A and B are shown apart, each in its own frame.
Chain A
């Protein structure tokens, strides 16, 4: 008995789908020294920035194409005015700036008591120094290479019209007298301006000096993403590492089906892995090249040589997502998840904390200080912040 053509074709499609799914399942990622021909190589050679990238060949190839379109990182590690008085507490905030949409000056004045014109803190806020982790910051510069719009040059961020000047992140830092570390992830449109082109990415702004710069290229899912990290040590206080990340929104249907929608989890665990690997390498226990771990190799509850804040826009649509649960495990002293929306109806932005476990104990989170800022300041996101006690 022979089969009809539709049965044969149906069975063929079914088997092809199963073969495709079976072939596409494995995923591994591995941070490694930065080896691509991308802007920022000079910083790598000079040892200014600790670059970490995935070692998966597919990730590397995609990231290499994307990074050719952006300019070099921006570093101005010392703020205009540095207080020398000992500090007990530092405020850490995270905010998606939405390109030039967010009114940074108003945000700093309204939420962090910082007046950009005077470049100093208003009296009485309970803290004198802050670190602000900014996502979707943009930079305009002739150093951003010309590229036509296309897959690796995404459209510019849609910005809300607002009063006041539209400054890029370097200009904001100068205007407000803040230290800055910015590493672009991708282009902000292909438009040619008289004074250059624009890229966008994550930045750290601070009223205290920044050092020990880290740039982590996330495992490639849809767009190139670079998490940035730096260490702050206010006068009289203990060191605190701050890491700013922005995860992809959503991959395509094919990738969702074949990975079980693990894109954001994979990217977040890549950052955790990179941080753990950096810590391990500095404690004299480097990873074995090619080592494979089911999860990041270090024990989540293990000793970490420096207290770390990890925060940013995770693009999560509920407060229960796997990526939040995993990061909370890796950052066990994190504040409780409140599930409050920060982008429309979605709780997209989150903050995590882990304390140095060795004596003397490192900086401590002030859990009751964790809150959502209830004004958008012309961004499409609400910010989050908490206080960290340094001594």
Chain B
């Protein structure tokens, strides 16, 4: 028998994700000032929904292209971090400006979670080794789409059409690339929709202010 040998890989650093979580929790605690049409709690809810949607969109959009790079999972993680930050900022801007918009996002997320979870549940019956975690993950993807349904679906459609056209036109462009286009379209459409609504909300509410819970002691 060989002597004990140990080696290991560390493909994923938890630090960045934990940092984001801390940031999200800080925002959760933030006593943001009520805005015109919004509230501190609406800002918090918008932030959380935006962060979830941004992270999910960026992750699913990055998986196929990133898996074809040397960095692989690190590339996906970086995209997820960028998506989280963009979604977090957008959600905060939307929530601080419009309670109604946050309610629409939350309702869409709830409907999307049920629809996505239902699809996940149906797939669990037919896909070997599908777990309850996969059902929840499908629900989270559905919830993310639900926060920005129009942008995500328009993006999905545009990506699918572009991917299929490229598949027909270019021999080197295969079906996997076409699938990449579809998913990337969904992700970009969802994130673009979040950004658009954030800018739109801020334009309507010209002087948004969010107070972060930072106390400086002397």
Binding site for B on A (CB under 8 A): 1-4, 6-11, 13-15, 17-22, 25-33, 44-45, 47, 50, 52, 55, 151, 154-155, 222-223, 251-257, 259-262, 265-266, 269-270, 273-274, 276-278, 280-281, 286-297, 317-318, 320-323, 325-326, 345
Contacts and interface: CB of A to CB of B under 8 A. Distances in A.
A257 to B, nearest CB: 5
B52 to A, nearest CB: 4
Contacts of A252: 127, 129-131, 133-134, 137
B174 A286 contact: no
A325 B143 CA distance: 35
A293 B2 contact: no
A7 B134 CA distance: 24
Contact of B10 (A286, A294, A322): A294
A18 B12 contact: no
Interface stretch (B72-80, B150-158, B193-201, B208-216): B72-80
B10 A28 contact: yes
B140 interface: yes
Interface string B86-113: 0000000000000100110111011001
B21 interface: yes
Contacts of A154: 128
Interface in B54-89: 55-56, 59-60, 62-63, 66-77, 80, 84
A25 B110 CA distance: 25
Interface string B112-155: 01000000100000011111011011111101000000000000
The 5 closest A-B pairs by CB, nearest first: A322-B72, A260-B76, A10-B106, A260-B73, A254-B133
B48 A32 contact: no
B39 interface: yes
B7 A18 contact: no
A14 B110 contact: no
A254 B131 contact: yes
Contacts of A13: 52, 109-110, 113, 139-140, 143
21 contacts: A1-B34, A3-B42, A7-B41, A10-B106, A10-B143, A14-B143, A20-B136, A21-B80, A26-B14, A27-B10, A27-B12, A30-B8, A254-B131, A257-B59, A261-B63, A270-B9, A276-B7, A278-B5, A281-B2, A320-B69, A325-B70
B113 to A, nearest CB: 6
Interface in B1-30: 1-14, 17-18, 20-21, 24, 28
B14 A33 contact: no
A322 B17 contact: no
Contacts of B120: 253
B63 A22 contact: no
Given A13-B52, A45-B1, A293 B73 contact: no
User: Which among B1, B7, B20, B63 has the greatest number of chain A C-beta atoms within 10 A?
Assistant: B7
